[in-house]
Amino acid sequence: MTTALIEYRAHFDFDIAFANGGGMRGEGFRLDIPRADIDETQVGLLLVRHLGLALVGAVEITRLRIVEEPHRGSRHVDAPRAGGSRVIDLSHPIEAGLVTYPGLPTPVITPHLTREDSRSRYAPGTEFAMDVITMIGNTGTYLDAPYHRYADGGDLASLDLASLVSRPAEVFHLHDAWDAERRGIASLAFADRDLRGAAVLLDTGWSRHFGTAAYGRGAPFLTEDGARFLVDSGAGIVGIDSLNIDDTESGGERPAHSILLAAGVHVVEHLTRLEEVPARGATFTAAPPAIRGFGTFPVRAFAVVDDSH
């Protein structure tokens, strides 16, 4: 097991002039870079490649700052990596009294057979603990099957295991992309990726509030048009590190759940540590038990990152 090397991004303003006339300008632009020792000319080349521009006559980079922070998914930029692979646990541990979603019952753990009582049932020196956990399916980090939303939808036992294991992960690091006035994540956030068959993971940074009162108010969410875009793009899983994939403060409508689950797209909520997963190149697994007549259950969600490439 290894740890990824430090990643860097460039913050800058730019002016681009096209060889055939016209131009474009940007302020406060942020771009992944492969290393810290990089100059304005090299940043300009990376910018042109990232934007997919042609017939560029000149690029002027100003106010350049190199910042140590995780990559956000700029195109054609690969950071240096250590060898080997690593597993990143993206799940919240479950314990008695855990508050996942405000207002829902918390887990209760009680002994069925204590170690002390088991000693009379087994050979000397042999003992076991057997416990009972009572909890709602919406506990910790969990996956929604279509049955959660639709009476005739597939339950947990009906899910194709291959669609839940080692799916290519497309992570959208969105810490800078929303604020208290603009909480919805819309389709434009996803326009530069090929998402067919992918696990689309929305890293909003909201999991830092998990287990506190702040987690239940003002949370980021996926908009209706964002959900439609992801379905049309062929995404297989959509996960978020927030209170809900929908806006729970807009009334009883749940368009993201309705659209995604109707299309057979798995929904995973209450993820954590997504900031540690690179924008591309990892795989994602989130498999619940095969329970018939049940629509939601906790998963041990994790990403595997291959640092040898």
What are the DSSP calls for 68-117, one per residue? E------TT------SSEEEEE--PPP-TT--SSTTSPPPEEEEEE-HHH
Q: Which two tokens mark 107?
A: 């887990």
**Separation CA 271–CA 148 (nearest Å):** 18
Residue spans of alpha helices (H) in the chain:
40-51, 115-118, 224-232, 255-262
**Separation CA 69–CA 6 (nearest Å):** 8
User: Coil, helix or strand for 235?
Assistant: coil
pLDDT in tens, 134-178: 999 999 999 999 999 999 999 999 999 999 999 999 999 988 766
CATH class belonging to 142-306: alpha beta
User: Coil, helix or strand for 305?
Assistant: strand
Q: What does the pLDDT read at residue 263?
A: 98
What 8-state DSSP symbol labels residue 140? S
Q: Which two tokens mark 80?
A: 């240096």
**Separation CA 74–CA 133 (nearest Å):** 44
pLDDT band at 1 (very low <50, low <70, confident <90, very high): very low
pLDDT in tens, 273-303: 999 999 899 999 999 999 999 999 999 999 9
Domain boundaries of the chain, sorted by first residue:
8-79, 142-306
User: Coil, helix or strand for 242?
Assistant: coil
Q: Which two tokens mark 259?
A: 């659209």
pTM for this predicted structure: 0.81
pLDDT in tens, 85-115: 899 999 999 999 999 999 999 999 999 999 9
Question: What percent of the chain lies above the pLDDT cut of 90?
Answer: 69
* Kind plus residue range of the DSSP H or E element containing 129: none
Q: What does the pLDDT read at residue 72?
A: 77
Q: Which residues of 168-197 are buried (b: 16+ CB within 10 A; e: fewer)?
A: bbbbbbbeebbeeeebbbbbebbeebebee
* Antiparallel, parallel or unpaired: β 237-240 and 199-203: parallel
**Separation CA 157–CA 237 (nearest Å):** 17
Q: Which residues of 55-81 are buried (b: 16+ CB within 10 A; e: fewer)?
A: ebeebebeeeebeebbbbbbeebebeb
pLDDT in tens, 33-87: 888 888 998 888 888 888 888 878 789 989 999 998 888 777 767 655 556 789 9
Residue 231 pLDDT exceeds 80: yes
